[in-house]
Amino acid sequence: MQDLLSRLSNTIDRHCVAPTTRTLVPGLMLFRAEAPTTPMDVIYDPRFCVIVQGSKQVMLCDKLFDYDASKYLVTAVDLPVTGQITQATQEKPYLALCLTLDPAQIADLLLEMKDVPPSHNAACPSCMTVSALTHEILDPVSRLVGLLEHPEDIPILQRAFVRELLYRLLHGPQGYVLRQIATAGTNLSQLNRAIGWIRTHYAESFDIASVAKIAGMSPSSFHRHFRAATMMSPLQYRTRLRLQEARLKLLNATVDAAEAGFSVGYDSPSQFSREYRRMFGVPPARDAQRLRNVEDNMFSG
């Protein structure tokens, strides 16, 4: 497996010279860092991630996921997380890749697989998990990324390599989660509908009953399954979306603290400041200035 990691590292090093590179392979993104980073808030869509060099911590609510080149990470729904690269140098930069998971591709593959247990409507599994990386999974990943060396092959071979990777993942420890997001009528596929609505309407007020109706669940069942899958309640999820978006606006210096709060759905500046401080540890304006100083030091160093 070390040979595959070395080959992947060399390929990503050649094709990813910026912190983030969107490749010609559909859904494939590459990442690079030459120093550890401060914690950054992002939204992880359903994705499969591999670090080929370096290490990273990802925090979902209060749960911390540590992973490096010995593991892979899968998220099954859109999740607001905090990520921090913990190991990276100029000589050995952090190098990683993520592939967007398409439920339609998974569903298409499941139709042909007879030896995988069907999904069922038991309690929702956690929607972010780290598992041990194996040669069987890394092999199609290496060939998929290797297409960047021969872009003329991408239209012909990309689908086959992704299909093989999904097949391996479906037979792995996270196969149940992938089957859930690709199978109509499962709790996770129902939750995905509601999560998509919340992501679009996070600045609006809503009640649990109306969003549960979008998911096709009773309010109590929706709340229970939502917390099991995302490790937070629907309203906590909305709050994280609001505060992460406000933080991004403040970091880009496009609005002041009061405007940022109003733009993401807060009617009260004091409530916004209070919840912002509870999540990020400092008031909005001071936090934004601190983050800008960190960025300036990174680029001046």
Cα→Cα distances 268→85, 222, 262, Å: 35, 29, 8
pLDDT at 93 over 70: yes
pLDDT at 264 over 70: yes
DSSP state, residue 78:
-
Q: How would you class 210 by CB atoms within 10 Å of its CB: exposed for 0-12, middle for 13-18, buried for 19 or more?
A: exposed
CATH topology of domain 2-182: Jelly Rolls (2.60.120)
Domain ranges, ordered by start, for the chain? 2-182, 236-300
pLDDT of residue 285: 85
Percent of the chain with pLDDT over 70: 93
| Residue whose entry in the numeric block shows the structure tokens 């042909």 | 112
pLDDT of residue 300: 36
Instruction: Show the CA angle centred on residue 27, arms to residues 2 and 175, nearest 5°.
Output: 65
The predicted-structure confidence for 42-86, as pLDDT tens digits, reads as follows 999 999 999 999 999 999 988 899 999 999 999 999 999 999 999
Cα→Cα distances 30→46, 81, 82, 102, 103, Å: 16, 19, 18, 18, 21
The predicted-structure confidence for 187-200, as pLDDT tens digits, reads as follows 888 999 999 999 99
CATH topology of domain 236-300: Arc Repressor Mutant, subunit A (1.10.10)
